[in-house]
């Protein structure tokens, strides 16, 4: 979706960064978060988005905090199922997180990037949680939780996933895919309903 707008996103596979750290003879002198921070320090970006799941959420937050420390002018955006259900509490607890994109992001994220690039207000953008004093506000402003974005009704209208952005995908022996989207059930212990929307009927 970002490429369709003429943007040039870059995908960082933190699994690969972890494997590099695990094989680095100097790994005993720094933990993985520090190593990942050094990796990001060598990149040039204005906005960095982290996908979140519950099993790695504490690690994701630590890395995001380190990145914000070394790139204070960058915008840190979190998305994915974990932060979609703890968006307000995350912004309260972690001032380095600037914006949370809740639920499906195919339309919300490009709209957010457009608004930030043009210097427009994000106050009416559906599907985001942010601070009233704006991004890069230092984490002190009132938290605003905009209404949910509409669900994607026609999945076939979406472009094919940008697998070509993953490092060395052409030479990969296998590539894991998640081939489902949403769920027909309403389990209270699962974030799927919050992320994709509860089933109707």
3-state secondary structure labels for all residues of 72-105: CCCEEEEECHHHHHCHHHHHHHCCCCCEEECCCC
How far from the centroid of its chain's Cα atoms is residue 152's Cα? 18
Does residue 124 register a pLDDT over 80?
A: yes
What are the tokens at 131?
């601070």
User: What pTM was estimated for this model as a whole?
Assistant: 0.88
User: At 201, is the pLDDT very low, low, confident or very high (cuts 50, 70, 90)?
Assistant: very low
As a whole number of angstroms, the distance between CA 51 and CA 110 comes to: 15
Looking at the chain, which runs of residues are DSSP E strands?
47-51, 75-79, 99-101, 128-131, 143-145
Distance spanning both ends of the chain, measured CA to CA: 31
**Residue 200: what pLDDT?**
53
Compute the mean pLDDT over every residue in the chain, rounded to the nearest whole number: 87
Q: Is the pLDDT of residue 177 over 70?
A: yes
pLDDT in tens, 64-106: 999 999 889 999 999 999 999 999 999 999 999 999 999 989 9
pLDDT tens digits for range 6-50 = 888 999 989 889 999 999 887 778 889 889 988 998 888 899 999
Regarding beta strands 128-131 and 143-145, do their DSSP bridges make them parallel or antiparallel, or are they unpaired?
antiparallel
């Amino acid at each position: 979706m970002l490429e369709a707008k003429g943007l040039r996103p870059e995908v960082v596979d933190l699994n690969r960064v972890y494997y590099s750290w695990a094989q680095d003879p100097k790994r005993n002198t720094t933990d993985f978060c520090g190593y990942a921070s050094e990796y990001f320090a060598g990149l040039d970006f204005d906005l960095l988005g982290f996908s979140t799941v519950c099993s790695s959420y504490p690690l994701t937050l630590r890395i995001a905090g380190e990145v914000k420390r070394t790139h204070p002018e960058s915008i840190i955006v979190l998305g994915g199922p974990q932060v979609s259900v703890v968006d307000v509490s995350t912004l309260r607890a972690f001032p380095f997180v600037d914006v949370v994109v809740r639920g499906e992001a195919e339309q919300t994220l490009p709209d957010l990037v457009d608004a930030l690039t043009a210097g427009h207000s994000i106050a009416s953008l559906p599907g985001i949680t942010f601070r009233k004093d704006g991004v890069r506000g230092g984490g002190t402003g009132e938290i605003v939780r905009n209404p949910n974005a509409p669900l994607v009704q026609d999945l076939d209208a979406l472009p094919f996933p940008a697998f070509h952005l993953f490092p060395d995908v052409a030479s990969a022996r296998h590539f894991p895919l998640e081939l489902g989207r949403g769920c027909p059930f309403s389990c209270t212990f699962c974030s799927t309903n919050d992320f994709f929307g509860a089933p109707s009927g």
